[in-house]
């Protein structure tokens, strides 16, 4: 019942935000801007998204080894691609992370190690994204003149940085009750693993490069989409606007980010002095590209050996 309620809420949030965002879009005008050259740029966006999934798989592989859930590069890439299918195409409470968890656990690693690997992977990705946004703040402030837009950007990044820093500090504390109390035991374990891999001479540099690459590729995908519709937006503007949008889209309040991404992208473009409708157009095509790649992940899932091993059941 709780899962059904959460799924219903996410559907309603996506529908409401999409309705508000799409009122500013002319679909006929957007369709008229799609031509042969547009399809080439969209094809490049799809290729960049596949590359992003692979880079994310390499980062997850580095982390999973330290969590006791070792993965091969092929396994990590395949599981990430399958996860993209469940993330992008199914309006259910079983998201891509839950499916990845199930796949790793059923592979023999166990539920705890599988959960730790995915949680730490997500945490490191969030910290890297917050740092990228922080590093680009001087240029973002030049782009965004609106005081409310500046305040919103600073607040969102501060919350992400504070959460990431607090998570890492937790893993450095040597308080016995953190390891024993049920409310902090697993979080402390994940924080300790995150510290170990981030500050490791072996894993740390690889994680830094891969995390930056994952987020830069999100910018590249958006830039290819901008080019596909000849939107009057420069690459530097895309680089400053996309990371904050991706950060907000991480909030698990909608289906595959639909609605939240469109509303946030339109708002971000408006704060930067660009056309709000262009932001929504870019977001819609970004979602379409993600949907196409997710469909490929669905084919991988259909023909995978794991599909025949029983229904997906992830512990609450």
pLDDT in tens, 38-51: 999 999 999 999 99
Query: Contact, 107 vs 75, CB < 8 A?
Result: yes
Work out the pLDDT band at 93, boundaries 50, 70, 90.
very low
pTM metric for this prediction: 0.89
pLDDT of residue 115: 93
Residues in contact with 309: Cβ distance below 8 Å, sequence separation at least 6, in sequence order:
106
Work out the pLDDT band at 94, boundaries 50, 70, 90.
low
d(Cα 49, Cα 217) in Å, to the nearest integer?
7
Q: Give Cα separations from 219 to 74, 94, 99, 236, 238 (angstroms).
A: 25, 27, 26, 10, 6
pLDDT of residue 192: 95
Average pLDDT, the chain: 87
d(Cα 237, Cα 269) in Å, to the nearest integer?
9
When pLDDT is averaged across residues 137-165 and rounded to a whole number, the result is 91
pLDDT in tens, 258-270: 778 888 888 888 8
Percent of the chain with pLDDT over 90: 55
Burial class (CB in 10 A: 0-12, 13-18, 19+), 259: buried
Provide the token pair at 316.
């609450």
DSSP codes of every residue in 111-129: HHHHHHHHHHHHHHHHHHH
When pLDDT is averaged across residues 184-191 and rounded to a whole number, the result is 93
Element (H, E) at 9: helix 2-22
- Among 296, 204, 233, 257, residue whose Cα is nearest residue 18: 257
Query: Contact, 293 vs 49, CB < 8 A?
Result: yes
In 10 A of CB 46, how many CB atoms?
A: 18
């Amino acid at each position: 019942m709780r899962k059904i309620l959460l799924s219903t809420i996410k559907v309603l949030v996506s529908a409401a935000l999409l309705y508000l965002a799409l009122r500013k879009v002319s679909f006929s005008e957007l369709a008229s801007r799609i031509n042969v050259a547009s399809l080439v740029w969209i094809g490049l966006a799809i290729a960049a998204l596949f590359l992003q999934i692979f880079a994310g798989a390499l980062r997850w592989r580095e982390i999973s080894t330290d969590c006791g859930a070792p993965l091969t590069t092929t396994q990590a890439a395949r599981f990430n691609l399958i996860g993209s299918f469940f993330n992008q195409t199914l309006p259910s409470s079983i998201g891509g992370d839950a499916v990845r968890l199930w796949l790793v656990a059923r592979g023999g690693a166990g539920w705890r190690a599988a959960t730790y690997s995915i949680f730490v992977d997500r945490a490191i990705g969030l910290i890297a994204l917050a740092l990228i946004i922080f590093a680009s703040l001087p240029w973002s402030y030049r782009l965004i003149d609106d005081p409310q837009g500046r305040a919103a950007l600073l607040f969102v990044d501060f919350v992400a940085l504070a959460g990431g820093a607090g998570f890492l500090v937790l893993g450095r504390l040597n308080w016995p009750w953190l390891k024993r109390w049920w409310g902090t035991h697993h979080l402390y374990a994940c924080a300790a693993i995150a510290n170990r891999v981030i500050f490791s001479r072996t894993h740390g540099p690889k994680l830094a490069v891969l995390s930056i690459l994952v987020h830069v590729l999100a910018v590249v995908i958006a830039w290819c989409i901008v080019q596909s519709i000849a939107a009057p937006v420069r690459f530097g503007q895309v680089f400053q606007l996309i990371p904050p949008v991706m950060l907000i889209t991480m909030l698990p309040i909608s289906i595959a980010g639909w609605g939240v991404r469109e509303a946030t992208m339109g708002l971000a473009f408006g704060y930067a002095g660009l056309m709000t409708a262009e932001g929504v157009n870019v977001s819609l095509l970004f979602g379409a590209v993600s949907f196409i790649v997710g469909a490929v992940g669905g084919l991988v899932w259909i023909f995978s050996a794991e599909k025949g091993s029983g229904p997906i059941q992830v512990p609450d």
